[in-house]
Amino acid sequence: MQSISKPDFMPVAELRKMQLEKLQKLIPYEYERVPLFRRRCDEKGVKPRDLATLADLGKFPFMVKTDLRDEYPLGLTAAPMKEITRFHCSSGTTGKPICIPATREDVEIWTEGAARCLAMYGITENDVLQVSYGYGLFTGGLGAHYAGEKIGCAVLPIGAGNTQKQIMLMRDLGVTAICCTPSYFLHLATVAHKMGIDFRRDTKLKHGIFGAEPWTDEIRARIEELSGITAHDIYGLTEIAGPGVAGNCEHCRGLHIWEDHFYPEIIDPDTLEVLPDGEEGELVLTTLDRFGTPMIRYRTRDLSRLQTGQCKCGRTMRVMDRVHARSDDMLIVHGVNVFPSQIEACLMKVPEVAPHYMIYLSSTSTLDLFEIKVEVTPEAFDYGVYQHPDALRHRVIDTIKSVIGLSPSVELLAPGTLPRSEGKIKRVVDNRKK
């Protein structure tokens, strides 16, 4: 445990010196081996030798997800194929998949970052870790799996799906920690309730490690209330390293970025200007020591900020705000900017509705139609709220209007009506005419 977490407390001056040295090695490596990066640097008139300070990183070009699709499958690969030991892919929702070839060292660094997150959450070799992320091309399952083994946990590699079996094994094997998406854990809790199983009473579950989709503080509170566990946030993305880029300690609601491996910047998504710590914008990450597919100034599209001041836990790695939204998730409805996370936070302020909802957008020739379908809780349903929905529906509408200034139409549904997802949940259906 000590060897895993020791880098977290590195003196800041030593950390900054390390970051610069790694960048001065990485950028020439990328420039020599990846034609797209070299061409963009030449177009900007910048050379690897121009990186004399960390601030000079801002002179270099960004990378974006479409680069990975346009250069599919191996156009951004910097290492020779004989050094590649793993491929991970993520198709997203449209277009070609992205493909990330990784060397053995790349995988080891990823594993170490994820293991440091588990150690920070208080997970030890005495825990039983259930991995309910998908395995295979998706990074979640294998990332959590190898991290658990590095910590010394007994790992249950069940993957996604087969919910009743998940709950049975959770009880029978004495699972103390689970890794999955927050939406899938809520589904597990719902199914367990139907089976007559109370997570507090009937399991040894203490920790939930949740990632792969944005989730609000309100959802975190609902999860902890339902199950009695401590909900931990783990951040990662296939393009950078999968889960284990950052995680939260017990003292902060943000996430420590493992800056010895991943260099963070916050930029204005419109002007692309680098913003100082404390200002919100788009998170940009550079992989400092990944050599299979290095990512230099990768625009994550995640909205966050780098907090100022050192954390009470003593870690020197900077803290990023929990990702509450993505710049490309923003909806424009009647000229108003709306993020799904705002809707979720509003819904969770109404105790009678459950954290299962969908947003539907459509249009006529003259205006947008904005509808939300949300389930009521089993308790509210049993007490007849669903049979007399008008008062509750208006309360939901008023809560949303007070935050975003719009009054959607709201349909209340019985528990279990909306589809559940075993992976990343899709919350928005936009059928508006383009």
Angle at 283 between CA 91 and CA 431, to 5 degrees: 50
Shortest CA distance to 116 belongs to which of 308, 386, 299, 317?
317
Helices (H), 304-414: 340-347, 378-382, 390-404
CATH of 1-326, picked from 2.20.25.570, 3.30.70.3270, 3.40.50.1820, 3.40.50.12780, is: 3.40.50.12780
pLDDT tens for each residue of 348-400: 999 999 999 999 999 886 778 899 999 999 888 876 665 678 889 999 999 99
Residues 296, 288: Cα–Cα separation, whole Å: 8
**Hey, where are the domains in the chain?**
1-326, 330-430
Q: 1-326 and 330-430: same fold?
A: no
Shortest CA distance to 242 belongs to which of 145, 330, 329, 153?
145
Which strands, in side-by-side order, build the sheet including 262-267? 274-275, 262-267, 281-287, 298-304, 325-326
pLDDT tens for each residue of 286-326: 999 999 999 999 999 999 999 999 899 999 999 999 997 88
Token pair belonging to 319: 């803290």
Residues 65, 298: Cα–Cα separation, whole Å: 8
Q: What are phi and psi of 374, to 5 degrees?
A: -140, 140
pLDDT in tens, the chain (434 residues): 435 668 999 999 999 999 999 999 999 999 999 999 999 999 999 999 999 999 999 999 999 999 999 999 999 999 999 999 999 998 555 567 899 999 999 999 999 999 999 999 999 999 999 999 999 999 999 999 999 999 999 999 999 889 999 999 999 999 999 999 998 999 999 899 999 999 999 999 999 999 988 888 999 999 999 999 999 999 999 999 999 999 999 998 899 999 999 999 999 999 999 999 999 999 999 999 999 999 999 999 999 999 999 899 999 999 999 997 888 788 888 778 888 888 998 999 999 999 999 999 998 867 788 999 999 998 888 766 656 788 899 999 999 999 998 999 999 999 889 988 766 788 999 998 76
CATH of 330-430, picked from 3.30.300.30, 3.30.420.40, 3.20.20.70, 3.40.50.300, is: 3.30.300.30
298-to-37, 58, 60, 391 alpha-carbon distances in Å: 12, 12, 11, 47
Identify whether the C-beta of residue 290 lies closer than 8 Å to the C-beta of residue 102. Answer: yes
Shortest CA distance to 238 belongs to which of 300, 178, 158?
300
Residues 360, 257: Cα–Cα separation, whole Å: 35
